[in-house]
Structure 1
Amino acid sequence: MTRSTPALLIMTILFCSLAAAAEYHVTTSGSDSNAGSATRPWRTIAKAANSARAGDTVIIHGGTYSFDRAFVANSGTSTARITFAAASGQSPVIQANEFGINGRQWIVVRGLTFRGPKKLPTNWRDVPTRIIDDASVRIVPSESWTTREAKVRRKYRTFMGMLDQWKSNQTKGISVNGSHNIVLSGNTVSHHTAGILISGGSRNLTIENNTLRYCQHGIQSFASGSTSTQDSRISGNTCEQCWDHGIFLYGDALRVTVSGNRCRNNAVNGIGIQDGARDCVVRGNRIEHGGYYSETMRAPGASAISAFALGTGCVIDGNYCAYQQDLTLFDGNGIIVDTSRNPAKVCNNVCYRNMGSGITQTMSPGCVIVNNTCAENGWNTTHAYNGVGIRFARTADVNAVVANNILYLNRRGGVMGADLFRQSRIDCNLYTLVGGTPMLRNGYSAGFMTLDAVRSATSYEDRGRVGDPRFANAGAADYRLGSGSAAEGVADKGLATATDCDGRRRDAAPDLGAFERVGSAGITTPANGAYRIDFKPAAAASVSGWLADVGAGYGSRGGGLSYGWSTSVSGDARERNLSSDQLRDTLLQIQRTAANPRWEMALPNGSYRVRLVCGDPANIDSVYRMQVEGRTLVDGVPTSANRFVEGTVTVQVSDGRLTLTSGSGARNNKVCFVEITRLP
């Protein structure tokens, strides 16, 4: 009898595993009776979804694929995922009511466009334009919805009719239910009720670098009485023109991180976490220009970040929240913690030029509000009291800690509390007041106009101060601290956050506000007037005068500099050992495993000249298309005679970060180095 040796058995298993993995193709001219090969492709997404097994990759070619619903039939494994991806350089459109992943594991969906059946009204104009159909109607937000709804529908007939359509016959671009280890990356989803819907306790999800628009909710988790999702990451996504939330965690989300997303020009809220979310972190997001249709809400009140009925352990950290509107005047906050018995920590946020207050706590005792910068809130408001830096809206809002914040030129004053005297601590805050506004106000009283008045009437602000934070450029919304800032080195160290809004570690004598100032001796001086970044593997030799980027996620790099990628691409760094020019011999192959990662560098607002070189001394298998701040920077195809493509353009930074992204139609982008020069 023949016996199999262990080595032979292992080789047999490995051979069978490799043999089982396949690459399948789908084209609009194929046939489902074909083998699914590149030369004999399938015709439908349903055929691919039913057929793909562990280790298989389904390549979907350009064209439009129309159907009702399709569901992935099989699961991958940790070492053999099932991948659905767009063909390189092509933009297939999946026009359907739902592409579903139900009870499956180890699935990747990358680089596809999902377009739903919902239709915009013919007279629609994108937010921030607000369509008012009957300007004679006056909405009183405190009126019962029973009678108010008819008025809302008259005033906002176009929007409400559109919202009815989005809510009826609900559709989902991509749904993930009861699944785990799923990656959704670099997809574009539009015209759906929910762009991406997560439910059924799905866990270990990575939802990154997707673009969601024209949806009721861009990304939504949902559950009733159970956990919607857990141990998941939602990062680097862009959510715009959504009718309710850009990102909405609803129903006991557990240990979910929402980071590095951009939510802008949404009708009501930017990011919402609600109903029992526990140990969730909302960090480093940018939420701007929302709330334009807040009068249409059944329960009025729109904020850039809305945290409602939280569970324990939630943190809202390092976000930019700006230009939030609310015509009801109820809210319009940068951040609100609402009806939460469990306190949240709100820290390192920059809340500026919101119509309401920078940070509001309502029916939510015990929050810790530290190291935030709240500037110029009450923007264009007519409300007599909403429009302060930090607000405690109800008498139940007690036992809060408010420390190390900068409260700068907020229209209605520094801090307002419905029951101001029952807070745990208000201290070490810096006030720069609009003339005639109070530093602290209890309820609707005239308030306390000076530190002496505060200290004589309360136990607060023994270490508080009035002064100028000397922002780098407040007019351009750059709220980093400049030389001689009254905020420098005076924070309560015991309450200060370990790192600041940019991820920079705070000093032994920490600063007030969201940003830790780095003195001129600590800032890396740009070589030849430029920041020069070399994209390279960590082990590759460094080039004198150049800063290294090894593909790590965005964060502090020392010397006062913060830069990096929306998702790590360090595994895709290469050194070819073929070129005598070390800068061109190393590269990051940024589209190899991440669909469209974004690179950012924290910089003061202003004009910059940017030069980027793309290429690979070993291969010419790319279409190089890169953008900076939304403008074309590099656009070209390498040849054997010229393996590198470069571009130079001048751009304006207006949000404190310079951003590089892959352009439409890019294939296998590879970046070698970038030079960034500030212009006068």
Structure 2
Amino acid sequence: MMIHGFGFLSLSASLVLPWVLTGLVQGQRITDSLVKDVRQLSTVQEIPLPSRKLISQVSTATTYYVSGNGNDRNRGLSTSSPFRTIQRAADLTNPGDTVLIMDGVYKNASPVGTVLDIKRSGTANAWITYKAYPGDKPKLQNNGWHGIWIHNGASYIDVNGLEIVGNNGNINRAYALSQKYNKLNPLTNGNGITIDGDNNSRSHHISILNNKIHDCGGGGISVMESDYVTVDNNKVFNNAWYSVYGASGISLLNNWNSDNGNSQKYKNFVTRNEVYNNQMLVPWIQNGKYQDGNGIIVDRSRNNTAGSTLNAYQGRTLIADNISYKNGGSGIHTYESDHVDIVNNTTYLNNQTAGIMYGQIMSNYSGDIQVINNILYSAPNKPIDLKNQSTNVTFNYNLYNNNGYSVNAVGPNDIMADPQFINPSIGDFRLKRTSRAVDSGYKSNYILNNLKTDFLGNPRISGSGLDRGAYEMQN
């Protein structure tokens, strides 16, 4: 299970884009020559996002089929003879295998169990894939600890196109509050997808793609002590409500170095996700406060607190093209973490939890953080952004709404204006053509090589420039 949570001074925050000038002081004016010199802003190795298709598999790979109408006594090798449980197939997988999951509802077998327990690994050239059968919409319904649990060092795993539903719909807040000192109740603390680096058996090279994860008392997607993780194009909502541990929508906690990667190389990608209404409705058991419930958080990757025995994480994390709105905590948050780039995201009306004043994007006790080309929209008289006890943090080319509250961190090319969303009341954050965010973002070869598409998968450049926020106006 995901165990983290922090008070105001222990929340994540601070991100630095490799293509922004190192050491830029907030508010310092960038000279025209430096702004035009793209090469000076492109210090990080240009690494494209990992392919969203399974890496080439060995010729002997097996495809297993699972159906809500199947039987675990079947061979599982065709649509006419599928297994009934995904676990039956998972226990047979070898490198290169694919598990195709057909329509049906799949539940955890025991009250404290997991719907899908992944412990077997693929290889670099032969990943193991779990995905929805083409055209089908399988549902993993969980009231145990995990909908999907990737652990025991399982690596080179692809989870694609599944719906994971937690237990929030079966309990209420009154019951959850009665359990606020109970760490062992999966009904309130269960996660959607957990990548769990426990007992020195840590996972790496995991892709979580195109899934819908919602209504989990704990975290939506919780990644712990892992490396080379891609979380792309998922819809993550209504999570973190009832856990005593302080959960969030998407969380990367205590990132782990599986190799000698350095801060000039992207290893983790959190991209094109829609993350909303993740919020703590039960206080964190550690201090009795309501906190966390962030949309996206990179948490304690310095590994120097809370008893971590890991070395400080050296790889970079890219958080880009996400929409994070109406979460209890920050829309995007870093705490005690370094080497994070937050680029072209749209954050809207986060800080829904009473008393949380972190801003839409927060850098807390962090460093080497870049916050570039984002849209940050806060409620009236609430902080828009926040930089707390962080160093080497750059905010630039962002758009802030004019909500009557001063901006905490301002870059020379930030602007304050109405972003002119199409219809934010129904979650439509596309821009009107008259928005000042259109064609006014920062553009470089670095951005174009790493952000080829926007939230919808449309080309990132369409017009005279690059837009701010998660959407690119298409001509």
TM-score, length-scaled by structure 1:
0.44
Residue in 1 aligned with 2:232? 235
Residue in 2 aligned with 1:127? none
Give matches, 1:375-394, under 5 Å. 375-378=401-404, 387-390=405-408
**Runs of 5+ consecutive residues of structure 1 not aligned to the other structure:** 1-16, 125-156, 172-190, 223-227, 292-301, 379-386, 392-400, 410-470, 506-548, 567-599, 604-675
- What per-residue deviation string (whole Å, max 9, x for no partner) do you get for residues 456-489 of structure 1? xxxxxxxxxxxxxxx7789988878959x8x999
1:363 maps to a residue whose letter is: Q
Residue in 1 aligned with 2:244? none
Find the residue that maps to 2:249 and give its secondary structure.
Answer: strand
Question: Offset at 1:371?
Answer: 1.6
**Runs of 5+ consecutive residues of structure 2 not aligned to the other structure:** 1-57, 241-246, 258-266, 280-292, 303-313
2:191 maps to a residue whose letter is: A
- CA 361–480 in structure 1, closer or farther in 2 if over 3 Å, else same: farther
Distance 1:25 1:326 in 2: 42
- CA 71–161 in structure 1, closer or farther in 2 if over 3 Å, else same: same
Is residue 357 of structure 1 aligned with residue 383 of structure 2?
Answer: yes
Is residue 373 of structure 1 aligned with residue 399 of structure 2?
Answer: yes
Out of 85, 90, 97, the residue aligned to residue 56 of structure 1 is 97
Residue in 2 aligned with 1:250? 253
Distance 1:94 1:324 in 2: 28
Residue in 1 aligned with 2:260? none
Are the equivalent residues in 2 in contact too, given 1:250–1:274 (CA < 8 A)? Answer: yes
Out of 184, 194, 209, the residue aligned to residue 168 of structure 1 is 184
Give matches, 1:126-165, under 5 Å. 157=174, 160-161=177-178
Distance 1:30 1:238 in 2: 28
Distance 2:74 2:420 in 1: 63
- What per-residue deviation string (whole Å, max 9, x for no partner) do you get for residues 162-197 of structure 1? 7778x63448xxxxxxxxxxxxxxxxxxx9722121
Residue in 2 aligned with 1:195? 192
- CA 111–352 in structure 1, closer or farther in 2 if over 3 Å, else same: closer
Residue in 1 aligned with 2:7? none
- What per-residue deviation string (whole Å, max 9, x for no partner) do you get for residues 68-117 of structure 1? 34534644444544333333443333445444443334433333344445
Are the equivalent residues in 2 in contact too, given 1:375–1:389 (CA < 8 A)? Answer: no
- CA 377–204 in structure 1, closer or farther in 2 if over 3 Å, else same: farther
**Aligned residue pairs, count:** 351
Distance 2:166 2:430 in 1: 39
2:252 maps to a residue whose letter is: L
Distance 1:220 1:480 in 2: 35
Question: Offset at 1:211?
Answer: 1.3
Distance 1:353 1:239 in 2: 21
Distance 1:87 1:479 in 2: 34
Give matches, 1:98-497, under 5 Å. 98=146, 99-102=148-151, 103-116=153-166, 119-121=169-171, 157=174, 160-161=177-178, 168-170=184-186, 193-200=190-197, 201-215=202-216, 216-222=218-224, 228-243=225-240, 244-252=247-255, 255-267=267-279, 268-276=293-301, 278=314, 279-291=316-328, 302-311=329-338, 313-326=339-352, 328-340=354-366, 342-355=367-380, 356-378=382-404, 387-390=405-408, 402-408=411-417, 497=442
Percent identity between the aligned chains? 24
- CA 283–367 in structure 1, closer or farther in 2 if over 3 Å, else same: same
Question: Offset at 1:331?
Answer: 0.7
- CA 25–249 in structure 1, closer or farther in 2 if over 3 Å, else same: closer
- CA 119–562 in structure 1, closer or farther in 2 if over 3 Å, else same: same
Find the residue that maps to 2:379 and give its secondary structure.
Answer: coil
Are the equivalent residues in 2 in contact too, given 1:115–1:192 (CA < 8 A)? Answer: no
Out of 136, 160, 167, the residue aligned to residue 90 of structure 1 is 136
Find the residue that maps to 1:602 and give its secondary structure.
Answer: coil
Larger Rg: 1
Distance 1:246 1:361 in 2: 21
Question: Offset at 1:333?
Answer: 0.9
Residue in 1 aligned with 2:66? 26
Are the equivalent residues in 1 in contact too, given 2:158–2:206 (CA < 8 A)? Answer: no
Are the equivalent residues in 2 in contact too, given 1:504–1:558 (CA < 8 A)? Answer: no
Distance 1:474 1:110 in 2: 30
Question: Offset at 1:62?
Answer: 3.0
Distance 2:459 2:377 in 1: 23
Query: Relative CO higher for 1 or 2, CA cutoff 8 Å, sep ≥ 6?
Result: 2
Distance 1:474 1:118 in 2: 31
Out of 12, 15, 35, the residue aligned to residue 75 of structure 2 is 35
**Aligned Cα RMSD in Å?**
4.2
Find the residue that maps to 1:46 and give its secondary structure.
Answer: helix
Are the equivalent residues in 1 in contact too, given 2:64–2:99 (CA < 8 A)? Answer: yes
Residue in 2 aligned with 1:588? none
Question: Offset at 1:237?
Answer: 1.4
Find the residue that maps to 2:83 and give its secondary structure.
Answer: coil
Distance 2:355 2:141 in 1: 39
Find the residue that maps to 1:84 and give its secondary structure.
Answer: strand
2:399 maps to a residue whose letter is: T
Residue in 1 aligned with 2:463? 559
Distance 2:473 2:180 in 1: 38
1:22 maps to a residue whose letter is: T
TM-score, length-scaled by structure 2:
0.61
Distance 2:398 2:126 in 1: 45
- CA 343–40 in structure 1, closer or farther in 2 if over 3 Å, else same: closer
Distance 2:438 2:464 in 1: 15
- CA 120–561 in structure 1, closer or farther in 2 if over 3 Å, else same: farther
- CA 109–308 in structure 1, closer or farther in 2 if over 3 Å, else same: closer
- Answer 1 or 2: which has greater strand percent: 1
